Amino acid sequence: MSHYNTLSGTFSWRDDKIEWPVTSDVGPGLEGVIASDTAVSWLDPTSGSLSYRDVPIERLAGIRSFEEVAYLLITGDRDREEDELAAFRSRLRSSRALPNEVVQLIRSLDPLIHPTRLLRAGVSVLGCHELSGDEDMSGERHWRELRVVGQVAALVSEIARHRAGSEEHQYDERRSLAECMLVALLDRPPEPIEVETLDMLWVLYADHGLDAPTFTSMIVASTLADPYYNVVAGLSALRGPRLGGAGEQVLEQILDLADEVYAVDWVHEMVEKGGRIAGFGHRIYHMPDPRVVILRKQMATLARARGRGELFTIARAVEETATALLAHKGIHVNINFYAALLFHLLGADGPLVPVMYVVGRMAGLVARVHEALENPKLYRPLSQYLGTPDREMDQGGVE
Amino acid sequence: MIGGVYRTDVQTYGRGLEGLVAGTTSIGYIDGEEGRLVYRGYAVEELAANASFEEVTYLLLNGDLPDDYQLDEWHHEIASWRNPPEEAFKALGRIPNDAHPLAKYRTMLTVAACHIPEADATDLGAQQRRPARILSWAGSLASAAIRHLHNEPPVPPRMDLGYAAHFLYQALGRVPTEEERKAFEASLIVQAEHGLHAAAFAALVVISTGADLGSAVLAGMGALSGVRHGGANQLAWEVLEGLEDPDHARKWAKEKLAEGYRFPGFGHRVYKCPDPRVRVMEPYAEALLRSKGLENRWETYLALRDEVEQALGPRGIFANVDSITGLVYHPLGLPPSAFPIPFCLAIQTGWMAHCLEYLPEGRMIEPGAVYVG
């Protein structure tokens, strides 16, 4: 049995293997608890560097498409066997053909309903079409979950179009997940830099440890529920203001700022009155998040290309001012800050940001669910009872 | 309360967080050695015999049994939510009839969740206003999902029936007899809370992100759908249905025991003794089966249970609640694929109680994973 000082700040969260049971620190919100061992991704808490299956994200973002990175995360195959990758890509792309009833369900709902709720309903009804009551899933599970990645992308496209009042999305199997999504958002063939940006965003969002949607899905998978229950449950954890809602708030705050002078004043004002600047602060990172470096650069390029240089200038002003005021408290800009602005430049409005990011996160979620299923063990912690001592109902009863 | 892990401690636990004390609670406790299940200080045996499901939900959510006035208000509040959004019923029309009723019910819930009042409010007050609506909508939507299996239309709600009777009325299209109602209500009561089982834990993770209570319940039902969890009562019943009579049951059990088979509805992570919920439910099941001329089913169950428990009891494996609820739901006329639904309706009370207990101080739940790549 190993003893881990997980909250000491020196514990590396990297080991050759874990000997269960383990002894570790247990903090509020289960911080420090080791809920699984994984080979999916590695986030070095001292340097903040992140790698997927031992490949640093710097060698993936902007270089590999999201489809390739999803393949890497889900299969663990670093050598990219061409046949396997082609089969994977074809499965992923073809799963975007949604049954008409599913599209009609989304279309029948008010377009102003929050996209996270529409997506959850879409995934649920899709599950009813994919799996009839008595279907045996053994052996098929792997592909089933993979299909969900493509299906979520297709549902998000449809929701975006419904929201914009556009007609149904005609998806083209030759186009990648990112290309298709951009066609749905922009109603025109996307520019290469737009495709590169969306692939990059999804790649950087693809996995980040046991965040709430992923961990919820793992708990649900541990009961051997079908994949649609996992995903509906994971999506239920998506929008809490502490999580997916952050990107929405970034756009609400930043898009209102007229110029960089105003932006600087606004940050000072917010910090003085103890307000929260969306897109800052992270539970894990008390140092700059390496994903931000990549996205900041992309934001500069894309904003210029789209004639929105002022938006980048304002964002930089907010980031620099806030960093100067908050970095000493360990509060740094996080991935949601530039990511939300990039999604905005790609045609997504604020409420679409959480569902846009979750398309990428689906890859890591599926990879971790597969891992949880390799050695399934029901998640069932205990709680200590500190309530009323044993008592009896009043004589005469309530009835 | 669970949110009460304010200080850091050191613990030893296994895979699946087995043995980890995630926090403290005042909702209930399970004594897996003595076979006791207690809600807010009351033993389930006593609650099942003397209280209504409404009283038990009030107890779990608020901490004490209601007085007459409070109970009246609570009844009224629950009944006032018996008309879920029309869109949720319309969604059924877009689902194949043969989909699992739990998946249909899930879809109706996700569509209903697009139409909840105060959708974006996640302050404690708004969360505390949600349980009555969630309980009530769930009952009406679930019964419509069950009827959809046979292409039958939903039954319009009534205001003069309690929760248990009203669910059966909407699911079966007839008012249950007193005997049926009592048995069903007892099954809801004994399944209303069960600590931090996987589904409650999933709900807690979701509520900890600041999501709305209905989203937490949806995550819980996802976990409950699994065959290792709520789906187990359907499996246990299907095993029993395949057995002709007590002799067949004994013979079959002996064969399977020799193979090391894992019997659905037997064994429990927490109970290493007879499950108290089984003891409460058996008399109801027996009476109901006998009154419908299904004695053989009852005796077959007993033969199977005795055979398995005799062999595996010394290793702490006994019949659990999933082996008995089907014996109540079948004679009521519910189809086996619908068996997980009453469990879901009942246990969401416990999930909601845990979530509301966690909310005031609880931090976002985010454990870690050690990288072994």
The listed CATH number (1.10.230.10, 3.30.365.10, 3.55.50.30, 3.40.50.150) that belongs to domain B232-332: 1.10.230.10
Average pLDDT over residues A75-82: 89
Provide the shortest C-alpha distance from residue B233 to chain A (in Å).
14
Are A102 and B370 an interchain contact pair (Cβ–Cβ within 8 Å)?
A: no
> Does the pLDDT of residue A173 top 70, yes or no?
yes
pLDDT at A6: 87
> Does the pLDDT of residue A396 top 70, yes or no?
no
Are B367 and A38 an interchain contact pair (Cβ–Cβ within 8 Å)?
A: no
Provide ipTM, 2 decimals.
Answer: 0.94
DSSP designation for B269: S
- Same CATH topology for B37-230+339-358 and B232-332: the answer is no
SS3 content of chain B, % helix, strand, coil (to 5): 60, 5, 35
Phi-psi sector, A65: left (phi>0), alpha (psi -120 to 50), beta? beta
User: Which residues in B lie closer than 8 A to residue A125 (C-beta atoms)?
Assistant: 91, 94-95, 107, 110-111
> Does the pLDDT of residue A3 top 90, yes or no?
no
Question: Could you tell me which of B56, B49, B93 has the C-alpha nearest to residue B71?
Answer: B56
Greatest C-alpha distance within chain A: 79
A2 — pLDDT class (breaks 50, 70, 90): low
Edge to edge, the sheet with strand A55-56 lists A41-43, A50-52, A55-56
Q: Which neighbouring-strand residues pair with B21? A: A382
State which residue of chain A sits closest to B359, comparing Cα positions. A29
How far apart are the C-alpha atoms of A51 and A73, rounded to whole Å? 10
Query: How would DSSP label each residue in B135-165?
Result: HHHHHHHHHHHHHHTTTPPPPPP-SSS-HHH
Q: How far is CA B355 from CA A364, B1, B110, B361, in A?
A: 27, 10, 19, 11
Residue from B268, B275, B330, B354 carrying the catalytic annotation: B268
- Residue B229 annotated to the active site: yes
Are A378 and B198 an interchain contact pair (Cβ–Cβ within 8 Å)?
A: yes
A140 — pLDDT class (breaks 50, 70, 90): low
State which residue of chain B sits closest to A125, comparing Cα positions. B107
How far apart are the C-alpha atoms of A398 and B145, rounded to whole Å? 33
> Does the pLDDT of residue A135 top 70, yes or no?
no
A43 — pLDDT class (breaks 50, 70, 90): confident
CB atoms closer than 10 angstroms to residue A397: 10
User: Which residues in B lie closer than 8 A to residue A30 (C-beta atoms)?
Assistant: 5, 22, 365-367
CB atoms closer than 10 angstroms to residue B22: 26
Domain ranges of chain B: 37-230+339-358, 232-332
Cross-chain CB nearest to B211 (options A109, A236, A383): A236
Q: List, for residues A362-383, the tens digit of each pLDDT value.
A: 999 999 999 988 888 889 999 9
Contacting residues for A395 by C-beta, under 8 A, at least 6 apart: none
SS3 annotation, A58-82? HHCCCCCCHHHHHHHHHHCCCCCCH
How far apart are the C-alpha atoms of A249 and B246, rounded to whole Å? 64
Strand bridging mode A22-26 / A55-56: unpaired
Provide the shortest C-alpha distance from residue A194 to chain B (in Å).
31
User: Which residues in A lie closer than 8 A to residue B337 (C-beta atoms)?
Assistant: 133-134
Token couple for B168: 């059966």
pLDDT at B16: 93
The listed CATH number (1.10.580.10, 3.40.710.10, 3.30.450.20, 1.20.120.420) that belongs to domain B37-230+339-358: 1.10.580.10
Q: How far is CA B32 from CA A391, B99, B266, in A?
A: 19, 36, 14
How far apart are the C-alpha atoms of B291 and B321, rounded to whole Å? 22
Strands (E), chain B: 9-13, 21-25, 28-31, 36-39, 42-43, 368-371
User: Which residues in A lie closer than 8 A to residue B71 (C-beta atoms)?
Assistant: 398
Are A29 and B362 an interchain contact pair (Cβ–Cβ within 8 Å)?
A: yes
User: Which residues in B lie closer than 8 A to residue A378 (C-beta atoms)?
Assistant: 16, 198, 228-229, 269
Task: Show the CA angle centred on residue A368, arms to residues A366 and A369, nearest 5°.
Answer: 65
Placement of tokens 């009521």 in the chain: B332
Are B225 and A240 an interchain contact pair (Cβ–Cβ within 8 Å)?
A: no
pLDDT at A206: 97
A395 — pLDDT class (breaks 50, 70, 90): low
Are A379 and B198 an interchain contact pair (Cβ–Cβ within 8 Å)?
A: yes
pLDDT at A231: 94
More confident: A212 or A242: A212
- Residue B247 annotated to the active site: no
How far apart are the C-alpha atoms of B102 and A293, rounded to whole Å? 45
State which residue of chain B sits closest to A2, comparing Cα positions. B12
Written as tens digits, the pLDDT of chain B (373 aa) is: 344 445 678 999 999 999 999 989 999 999 999 999 999 999 999 999 999 999 999 999 999 999 999 999 999 999 999 999 999 999 999 999 888 899 999 999 999 999 999 988 889 999 999 999 999 999 999 999 999 999 999 999 999 999 999 999 999 999 999 999 999 999 999 999 999 999 999 999 999 998 999 999 999 999 988 776 667 898 999 999 999 999 999 999 999 999 999 999 999 988 999 999 999 999 999 999 999 999 999 999 999 999 999 999 999 999 999 999 999 999 999 999 999 999 999 999 999 999 999 998 888 898 999 999 7
> Please, what is the average pLDDT of chain A?
90
- Residue B322 annotated to the active site: yes
The domains found in chain A, sorted by start residue, are 58-239+350-374 (1.10.580.10), 245-345 (1.10.230.10)
% of chain A at pLDDT higher than 70: 93
Residue from B229, B275, B330, B354 carrying the catalytic annotation: B229
How far apart are the C-alpha atoms of A169 and A152, rounded to whole Å? 14
% of chain A at pLDDT higher than 90: 71
User: Which residues in B lie closer than 8 A to residue A6 (C-beta atoms)?
Assistant: 368
pLDDT at A141: 62
> Does the pLDDT of residue A73 top 80, yes or no?
yes
